[in-house]
Amino acid sequence: MKLKRFSETQIIRLSREYDAGKETIDIRRENVVSRATFYNWEKKYGGMDASPLKRLKELEKENRRLKHMYADISLDHDNK
């Protein structure tokens, strides 16, 4: 599994710098981030604070748990 280089809080900090008016090229150069990665982060985390980020993580965790539960149930159903 690929190791993440930036945490979500660091990404939000970069997004806030962008929202404050700093040029994207300067942000990307300082943090060695590609254009595609930066814009993907903006699409996902743009305008987010710590509270919505926490809620997003909780929802992702719940979604992962439900997917595992569904997979287990469908395997049990196929074996019968």
Q: Could you read off the pLDDT of 3-24 as tens digits, one per residue?
A: 568 888 899 889 889 989 999 9
What type of residue sits at position 58? Answer: E
Kindly state whether residue 68 falls inside one of the protein's structural domains: yes
pLDDT for the residue 47? 79
Kindly state whether residue 29 falls inside one of the protein's structural domains: yes
Return the sign of the alpha-carbon dihedral for residues 18, 23, 24, 27: negative
Q: Could you tell me if 20 and 41 lie in one domain?
A: yes
Kindly state whether residue 80 falls inside one of the protein's structural domains: yes
Kindly state whether residue 1 falls inside one of the protein's structural domains: no
* Residues 45/12, Cβ–Cβ less than 8 Å: yes
Q: How many domains does the chain have?
A: 2
What type of residue sits at position 21? Answer: G
- Kindly state the helix (H) or strand (E) to which residue 78 belongs, with its residue range: helix 50-79
Kindly state whether residue 53 falls inside one of the protein's structural domains: yes
Q: How far apart are CA 33 and CA 13, in angstroms?
A: 14
Domain assignment of residue 33, given as a range? 7-48
Q: Could you tell me if 43 and 54 lie in one domain?
A: no
What type of residue sits at position 67? Answer: K
Q: Could you read off the pLDDT of 54-78 as tens digits, one per residue?
A: 888 899 999 999 999 999 999 888 7
Q: Could you tell me if 28 and 53 lie in one domain?
A: no
pTM above 0.75, yes or no: no
